[in-house]
Chain A
Amino acid sequence: MSGPSVEKGINFIREQIDAPVASFFSSCVHCGMCAEACLFYTQTGDPRYTPIYKVEPMRRLWENEFTLWGRIKSTLGIAKKVTEEDFAQWEELVYDGCSLCGRCSLVCPVGNDISGMIRKIREGFSAAGYAPEGLIGATTRAITIGSPMGVRLPALKAQIGHVEKETGIEIPLDRAGAEYMVLLSSMEIMNFPEYLQAIARIMRQAGRTWTISSKAFEATNSGIQIGASDLARELVQRVVDAAEELGVQTVISPECGHAYTAIRWEGPNLIGRPFKFKVRHILEVLDEFREQGLIKTRGKEQARLTFHDPCQLVRKGGVVEQPRHLLDLVAENFVEMTDHGAMNWCCGGGGGVSANERADELRLKAFRQKKSQLDEIGVETLVTACANCRITLEEGLEEYEMDIPVVGLTETLAEHLVEEDQEGQG
């Protein structure tokens, strides 16, 4: 085992430098718009949190090694090299001060994918040993145990038992040939079992077949968050193997943001081939059911509520309209926050920030962005579609003593299902 080292880290960053990265660095006009788009900057006022500055070590490496002037400067010995000290200094900016929300990439006037570059630079930081302890722990558990929270199959089976008892619906485990294979995040298994309940009820009403794989039920991918493609690939491969073994048509990513990014967008690139199945987010599937008339609902929530757009799902995944359509079914008083949809503000806990205890203080500070959005519209309920957002929102609301319950959209929908015909079957 070679162990982490700065040389290794630099080499990993070097590997990530490609034509888009070169064009991004070349075209940056230093306008600072990305700073204004970043909640870590707006809530701290600290210019070090300017998104493009967070990838400065990568920019310097690119300049030194991939540009003519940089090479000349390097030859003359006047180039500023990337050192261990830089890794130490930037670790906090790269991990604690960025939730990979992608708002900076969206506002960049020259189209630079800054958050994409932060995802890339994390490859080098994790290889150099400069990743936060919390993320290292989560990644280690994900690889060795199968879940960042250490959830093993017996724990899942226990939850399945509870849900089956509660709903009277069988949860099919390892059923080959099912239409859908449902993934779960550890948080849903341990903290929000209502999600699994909702899935079971909705699938029964829609009349679709589904299953959970005992080999790969975990949807989250800590390798993506810490920025270690070698590990992320292993986690994706587990899901791909299980799904292809069971021969399912579609894998459903749960109410979890980065899990969706990991399996749907990064997944095929990581394993180097297209999947033999489709990947959909649960909200996409539910909206399809709605369109096909497979979901019957009754009554609507009367509470004034709003929807917090999970960044990975909405801004990066393009699932913008589906949650609105679904909320239309079940909410009477739905209001939008000022910046919503693709321009939403992050909860502050994405991209591994919530798994990084060291970042708690900064994360809660950044949450004031969401707080001001919520204060503005004064809602009684906050709906979202990401378990990580949900935990972060709950913690933030508690910190600022705001009494707003946070619920998942899938379970909210399930509460309004018309189930008379099934109820008789008990």
Chain B
Amino acid sequence: MSDNKTLGEHLRERGVSRRGFMKFCAATASLMALPPAMIPAIAETLQNARRPSVIWLSFQECTGCTESLTRSHAPTVESLIFDYISLDYHHTLQAASGEAAEQAREAAMKENWGKYLLVVDGSIPQRDGGVYSTIAGMTNLEMLQEVAKGAAAIVSVGTCAAFGGLPKADPNPTGAAAVSQIVTDKPIVNIPGCPPIPVAITGVLAQYLTLGKLPEMDHLGRPKAFYGQNIHDRCYRRPFYERGQFAETFDDEGAKKGWCLFKLGCKGPTTYNACATAKWNEGTSFPIQSGHGCIGCSEPDFWDAGGFYKALSVPIGDAAGAITAAAAAAAAAGLAAGAVNRYHKQVAQAAHEPLKVEELSREEKS
């Protein structure tokens, strides 16, 4: 549980230098689009921050989000921060099991009621009373509702928690839903991605620790600092797109030369995430850099968007059908209008009595 050490003390114990810590603070400020003047404030606040209690609930998920966070960034400052927070309950990471684990959760809730941060990964099944996923005999739905009550804020990590993700993909057999569909009375920040970029998680946590509030968000509840720009606009292959140089297959000349993957179904143009800038594995690479198009994993319903290898210019989903139907309806309406007009004219023609020369003059009418 929580001890009384500050973050600064904790980091120093772990051998992180002042310089390394300041670098992290500057990076965090810039990542979160905060002014440079905020860096000392971040450092000061983080130094003296008390360990906040974090309860991490995993529901219908694959543990990929946790893997992303714990494995790829193991020795970094971000992971130390993550170590530092008082992770009082986490299926995968906690040592306790069985009833002890549930007791830990309940104790953390009680001790930090109204103050703890709730992190959720995975979607929540709702169909048939939510029986499709239970923990210790409790449905995910019940657990979320219970834990959310005492939370200061909720962080939905991963696309499943944020938007429903894969479990919600058509035909959604479990009635999977996003956190925001169930909890409506708490501040929620979505950090989607399959999995999300680790710094997006630590960045949000850092800001919450320092400023005591959640970051500025877009219309989908995503922090703008990480999800404010689309992959395409920041992609290093963008010049090839502008020149119309595309890889047509995964093993052609264009693919070898690193041309744009748009025609191979890259969803970069419609995907808002920081992959192209923050990258993965400590800034090593990201999918497009390793030769595969973006699959749009940080967008809602990316799994049902018509195929990862289908170029975006092909209407996704049912748009094609809708357009065809609309066009057909419009054509039918046009034909109907034309038929009405033609009929109207035919009536006029039927009423036509050939004009006789005697009928030209009005005077002769009577």
Contacts from A to B (Cβ < 8 Å): 1-5, 8, 11-12, 14-15, 17-18, 22, 65-66, 68, 126-127, 129-131, 133, 136, 139-140, 143-144, 226, 228, 230-231
Contact = CB atoms under 8 A, between A and B. Distances in A.
Interface in B266-284: none
B219 interface: no
A16 B337 CA distance: 18
B344 A65 contact: yes
A143 B357 contact: yes
Contacts of A133: 361
Interface string B327-348: 0000000000100010011001
3 smallest A-B Cβ distances: which pairs?
Answer: A129-B362, A14-B348, A3-B365
A85 to B, nearest CB: 14
A140 B357 contact: yes
Interface in B342-366: 344-345, 348-349, 351-362, 364-365
A226 B352 CA distance: 17
Nearest to A14: B348
B356 A1 contact: yes
B341 A1 contact: no
Contact of A226 (B337, B344, B358, B360): B360
26 contacts: A1-B356, A2-B359, A4-B359, A4-B360, A4-B361, A4-B362, A8-B353, A12-B352, A14-B348, A65-B344, A66-B341, A66-B344, A68-B337, A126-B355, A127-B359, A129-B359, A129-B360, A129-B361, A129-B362, A136-B360, A136-B361, A139-B357, A140-B357, A140-B360, A143-B357, A228-B360
A230 B355 contact: yes
A144 B365 contact: no
Contacts of B360: 4, 126, 129, 131, 136, 139-140, 226, 228
A126 B248 CA distance: 68
Nearest to B356: A1
Interface of B: 337, 341, 344-345, 348-349, 351-362, 364-365
A403 to B, nearest CB: 39
A238 to B, nearest CB: 14
A401 B360 CA distance: 37
A11 B365 contact: no
Given A3-B364, A68-B337, A11 B359 contact: no
Contact of B359 (A1, A65, A66, A144): A1
Nearest to A123: B355
A3 B359 contact: yes
A30 to B, nearest CB: 24
Contacts of A15: 345, 348-349, 352
Given A4-B365, A136-B360, 6 more contacts: A1-B356, A3-B359, A3-B362, A4-B359, A8-B353, A11-B351
Decide if the interface of chain B is mainly helix, strand, loop or mixed. helix
B355 A1 contact: no
Contacts of A131: 360
B354 to A, nearest CB: 4
Contacts of A126: 355, 360
Contacts of B357: 139-140, 143-144, 231
A8 B345 CA distance: 14
B26 to A, nearest CB: 60
A18 B348 CA distance: 12
Contacts of B337: 68
A75 B314 CA distance: 43
Residue from B341, B345, B352, B355 with most neighbouring chain A CB atoms (10 Å) = B355
B344 A14 contact: yes
Nearest to A62: B341
A1 B348 contact: no
B79 to A, nearest CB: 66
B352 to A, nearest CB: 6
Contacts of A17: 345
A14 B344 CA distance: 8
Nearest to A143: B357
A231 B354 CA distance: 8
A22 B342 CA distance: 12
B334 to A, nearest CB: 11
A4 B337 CA distance: 31
B229 to A, nearest CB: 43
A227 B362 CA distance: 16
Contacts of A226: 360
A231 B360 CA distance: 10
A139 to B, nearest CB: 6
Contacts of B361: 4, 129, 133, 136
B108 to A, nearest CB: 66
A66 B347 CA distance: 13
B246 to A, nearest CB: 40
A408 B275 CA distance: 86
Contacts of B364: 3
Residue from B351, B356, B357, B361 with most neighbouring chain A CB atoms (10 Å) = B357
Contacts of A144: 357
A1 B356 CA distance: 8
Contacts of A14: 344-345, 348
A4 B360 CA distance: 7
Nearest to A127: B355
A17 B361 CA distance: 24
Contacts of B341: 22, 66
A314 B181 CA distance: 76
A14 B343 CA distance: 11
Contact of A230 (B344, B348, B354, B358): B354
A133 B360 CA distance: 9
Contacts of A4: 359-362, 365
A65 B337 CA distance: 11
Contacts of A68: 337
Nearest to A13: B348
Nearest to B338: A19
Contacts of B348: 11, 14-15
Contacts of B358: 1, 140
Contacts of A136: 360-361
A228 B355 contact: yes
A226 B361 CA distance: 12
B60 to A, nearest CB: 51
Residue from B349, B356, B359 with most neighbouring chain A CB atoms (10 Å) = B359
A1 B287 CA distance: 87
A327 B299 CA distance: 79
Nearest to A131: B360
Contacts of A5: 365
A2 B344 CA distance: 22
B363 to A, nearest CB: 9
